[in-house]
Amino acid sequence: MTERLQRLINRLPGPDAGTFHDWNALWLLGYHEMPEEPREVRSARGLARVLREMPIRIAPEELIVGHYPLSEAPDPDLLQRVEGLADPRAERMQQALGSLRPEDAAAREASLHTAGVMKGHMTIDNETVLRRGLRSLRREAQRHLAATGPDDPRRDFYRGAIIALQAAERFALRYAELAERMAEDEADAARAEELRLIARICRRVPAGPAESFHEALQATWLMHMLVALDVGPGHHCFCPGRVDRYLLPALRADIESGRLTEQQARELLACLFVKYNEIPSFDTPQLYIVGGTRPDGSDACNELTLMALETTDQLQLIAPGACLAWHRDLNPAVMRQATLMLTRGGGYPAIFNDEVIVPGLRDVGVSARDAVQYVPCACTEITVAGRSNPWVASGYVNFAKALSMALRGGVDAATGRLLGARTPPAAELTTYEALEAAVAKQVRFLTKSNARTVGAFQAAAARHDSHPLLSCVVRDCLPRGRDINRGVSAARYVFTEPEAVGLTNLADGLAAIRRVVFEQRSATLEEIVEATDADFEGHERLRRQLLAAPKLGNDDEEVDEIAARFADLWHQEAARQRSPLGGSYLPGYLSWIMHARLGAETEATPDGRPAREPLADCLGPAQGRDRNGPTAAMRSVNRIDLRPALGGVVFNLKFDRRIFGTPFHGRRIVSDADLAKLEALLHGFFAGGGFEVQVNFTDAAELQRAQQRPEQFPNLLVRVAGYTARFTRLSPDLQDEIIRRTAHAV
């Protein structure tokens, strides 16, 4: 850690730094400059106004520049200027909600499923930006515009694209000019030369191709800011993606020519990584992924793979979050570095399985060349870097409600209304098979209802939204002349990725009912309904029986097969859905924070879970229910075919830090033997078909102390459900849920 890096970290904004409140007002002023223009042009003018008038600054010692302005409240003068101006995003939301079927709106309000509008969650085509530059893309748009006739609908897109690309080029020039002015006033000769170098770089990129590692890093950061600003305030889970691929040519050229030493390269990369911690919200994922395979299946690791992981390990910051793409021939040094990082706590890197994900992408029509460019585009949702428009983090289906409604003939216990599919009441479900059939009908109903709801938001976005700059850096929007919101007519791949939350609770509940009602005959379905309606008050004996039944995550084939059957049903039903954007439906199991939010609206469930408590945090054992060690939990999850689950899978493992490594001067020294055991465990999981794993190394006592004295643990990092966050900034429900997770020994 250089002194420069430590000072840059010390100056990072705190959790109460606010956000870019004035973006909205500046964008609206630009959007309404020429009301007679089409939406694409007006949106580009909105972005241009933001980039022209937003404040910029260069902090002391920065080598990578680009300041995201934060404030606690909007500028009142700006607010007054935009008073009464129509906001197309508000119109989009009104259209989406107004077009819902009444039954779908009711289901959404009752937390049977949820959907909304989520932007970003992707990686742009950094490779093309670094190779060609924005000026080349602008000239391409100009050529296309010149070739279109006066009635060609693509003209509006190209006109907006030209405005947006030119505004982005000018934004970088603002930093070049600022750096030049600062250099003139700088008393320190070394810093003055750094500022002059920054000025030269910002005059070159991202307008032109990157010809050095420093230029590539600077262009990467400015593009990250620019596409985020095109979409709105915040960073919207735009992710740096495959940094060890698109940054590698510039790194190698500089090292081989002697223009840059490895130590200088490491500091520059660290300076870039620090910047990702300046954009709010501070716990929202911005992920990179390294490793993986080439199209021919060979290992893609290189010197930048290790450098990126080691930099993340060194900085110990939330962003950018590290991910590793695993395969059988992964470079052993990379796997050892990843394993070592996991033992330090914080949950980085999350590890993904190329041998499941790449074939899964090929199944839905992704080319072999593109499939190995996949990225987890926020938490664990899978998309293709720079080539796809994913619709993620907006469709969640509450599987615990599917079981609950099947026991009540389709009636939602929380509202007392018939909100699900009409199925036989509990008294008429005389066999276990009849119960499973009723649950399956509810799953189908909820899947279709959620797809219609998500589709309403997608249709509204296609009608009201335009992102002219983002569309230029996602293939193949520019040559097709279509805004990214136009679906399959624009981006190469369009994915809608709904998530099943609570599959574990459903499987555990069905296994418990089969054991208690249909095998032991110690209770009836009506009594199960009565007990869950009462939140088990007065039914403590029955709850103990339900809790004692088989639970997912303990290598019990009985419950594992139930989970596998309903996972297959989910995959099949989700794949049948159709989006107004076109493209593929990719089901997943990412819970994000929805296991807590949906759980808070869900009654007690037959797995023994009390009302309003979080649902299972991952596709794996529910919190505290895995009793047979990590290998058993892994074997349970691997009985589910997850190749279709490209919407994302979260599998959480928690190990007790106290039994892993030896205390030494305040740190824990982990032996090679312990690292080898953890590596073997992970290799075995992925070789057996595992999709993803994320690991927490902590102990319950430390987490409880952090709950009681948060000021003493400001930087305690934990893996939640697809992302890493500061423990003390999580809600009390999420904190309690993480503490309850089972901690294993290795």
- For 447-492, write each residue's pLDDT tens digit: 999 999 999 999 999 999 999 999 999 999 999 999 999 999 999 9
Which of 323, 344, 376 is the C-terminal boundary of a domain? 376
Same domain? 215 vs 364: yes
Q: Which of 440, 442, 435 shows the shortest CA–CA distance to 411?
A: 442
The single residue listed with the structure tokens 């039954």 is: 103
**DSSP letter, residue 588:** B
Q: Examine residue 267 and state whether it is found in any structural domain, yes or no.
A: yes
CA distance 358 to 646: 10
Q: Check pLDDT > 70 for residue 281.
A: no
Same domain? 540 vs 584: yes
Provide the token pair at 123: 């990686």
Q: Check pLDDT > 80 for residue 225.
A: yes
Predicted pLDDT at 665: 40
Provide the token pair at 512: 């418990």
Q: Examine residue 229 and state whether it is found in any structural domain, yes or no.
A: yes
DSSP code per residue over 90-154? HHHHHHHHHTS-HHHHHHHHTTSEE-------S---HHHHHHH-HHHHHHHHHHHHHHS-TT-TH
Q: Check pLDDT > 90 for residue 712.
A: no
Angle between helices 102-109 and 432-464 in degrees, nearest 10: 100
**What residue type is assigned to position 561 of the chain?**
E
**Cβ atoms 708, 667 nearer than 8 A:** no
CA distance 409 to 380: 35
Average pLDDT over residues 606-629: 94
Query: Lowest-confidence range among 100-109, 245-254, 391-400, 608-617?
Result: 391-400
Same domain? 264 vs 405: no
Same domain? 327 vs 402: no
How far apart, in Å, do the first and last CA atoms of the chain sit?
A: 31
Query: Lowest-confidence range among 452-466, 512-526, 660-674?
Result: 660-674
Q: Which of 406, 433, 434 shows the shortest CA–CA distance to 420?
A: 406
Same domain? 308 vs 415: no
**3-state secondary structure (DSSP) of residue 724:** strand
- Using DSSP bridges, classify how beta strands 350-353 and 374-376 pair: parallel, antiparallel or unpaired: unpaired
Q: Which of 354, 281, 276 shows the shortest CA–CA distance to 308?
A: 276
| pLDDT grade for 537, boundaries at 50, 70 and 90 | very high
Helix (H) or strand (E) holding 353: strand 350-353
The single residue listed with the structure tokens 């889970």 is: 237
Q: What tens digit of pLDDT does each residue of 14-63 get?
A: 877 888 999 999 999 999 999 999 999 999 999 999 999 999 999 999 99
A 10 A CB-CB count for 48 gives 24
**3-state secondary structure (DSSP) of residue 667:** strand
Predicted pLDDT at 666: 46
Which of 345, 376, 407 is the C-terminal boundary of a domain? 376
A 10 A CB-CB count for 254 gives 22
**Cβ atoms 603, 469 nearer than 8 A:** no
Same domain? 325 vs 421: no
Provide the token pair at 274: 């620090």
Residue 25 CB-half CA count within 13 A: 16
Q: Check pLDDT > 90 for residue 688.
A: yes
Average pLDDT over residues 421-445: 98
Q: Check pLDDT > 50 for residue 208.
A: yes
CA distance 307 to 331: 13
Same domain? 402 vs 367: no
pLDDT exceeding 70 applies to what percent of the chain? 97
What are the start-end ranges of the E strands in 541-672?
Answer: 584-585, 652-656, 662-664, 667-669
Predicted pLDDT at 283: 57
CA distance 578 to 353: 27
Angle between helices 213-231 and 248-257 in degrees, nearest 10: 160
| pLDDT grade for 345, boundaries at 50, 70 and 90 | confident
Report the Cα 199 to chain-centroid distance in Å: 34
pTM of the model: 0.95
Q: Check pLDDT > 90 for residue 663.
A: no
CA distance 701 to 687: 34
**Cβ atoms 716, 728 nearer than 8 A:** yes
> Could you give the C-alpha distances from 344 to 92, 337, 348, 660, 674, in angstroms and in order?
45, 11, 9, 10, 13
Contacts of residue 456, defined as CB under 8 A and 6 or more positions apart, other chains included, come to 96, 97, 99, 100, 104, 115
Q: Which of 570, 435, 441 shows the shortest CA–CA distance to 514?
A: 435
DSSP code per residue over 224-243? HHHHHHHH-SS-TT---B-H
CA distance 572 to 577: 9
Q: Examine residue 250 and state whether it is found in any structural domain, yes or no.
A: yes
Residue 40 CB-half CA count within 13 A: 23
Q: Check pLDDT > 60 for residue 172.
A: yes
Q: Examine residue 296 and state whether it is found in any structural domain, yes or no.
A: yes
**Cβ atoms 254, 261 nearer than 8 A:** no
Q: Examine residue 87 and state whether it is found in any structural domain, yes or no.
A: no
Q: Check pLDDT > 60 for residue 282.
A: no
Q: Check pLDDT > 80 for residue 118.
A: no
Average pLDDT over residues 508-534: 98
Which of 301 and 116 is assigned the larger pLDDT? 301
Average pLDDT over residues 313-333: 96
SS3 readout for 449-493 = HHHHHHHHHHHHHHHHCCCHHHHHCCCCHHHHCCCHHHHHHCCCE
Q: Examine residue 115 and state whether it is found in any structural domain, yes or no.
A: no
Report the Cα 714 to chain-centroid distance in Å: 23
A 10 A CB-CB count for 148 gives 16
Same domain? 435 vs 570: yes
Predicted pLDDT at 664: 42
Q: Examine residue 388 and state whether it is found in any structural domain, yes or no.
A: no
CA distance 683 to 686: 5
Q: Check pLDDT > 90 for residue 346.
A: no
Q: Which of 113, 710, 265 shows the shortest CA–CA distance to 735?
A: 710
Predicted pLDDT at 658: 65
> Could you give the C-alpha distances from 738 to 545, 720, 723, in angstroms and in order?
25, 7, 13
Q: What tens digit of pLDDT does each residue of 238-261 get?
A: 999 999 999 999 999 999 999 999
Average pLDDT over residues 53-80: 94
Q: Check pLDDT > 90 for residue 350.
A: yes
Q: Examine residue 97 and state whether it is found in any structural domain, yes or no.
A: no
Contacts of residue 299, defined as CB under 8 A and 6 or more positions apart, other chains included, come to 291, 293, 327, 329, 330, 331
| pLDDT grade for 320, boundaries at 50, 70 and 90 | very high
Same domain? 360 vs 453: no
Provide the token pair at 721: 């459900």
Same domain? 608 vs 730: yes
**What total number of domains does the chain contain?**
2
Q: Which of 357, 270, 287 shows the shortest CA–CA distance to 322?
A: 287
Looking up residue 550, the CATH number of its domain turns out to be 3.20.70.20
Same domain? 301 vs 434: no
Predicted pLDDT at 699: 73
CA distance 599 to 410: 19
Predicted pLDDT at 741: 76
Q: Which domain holds residue 329?
A: 3-76+123-376
The sign of the CA dihedral 451, 455, 456, 457 is: positive
Verify cis geometry, omega within 30 degrees of 0, for the bond prior to 476: yes
DSSP code per residue over 416-462? TEE-S----BGGG--SHHHHHHHHHHHHHHHHHHHHHHHHHHHHHHH
Same domain? 432 vs 369: no
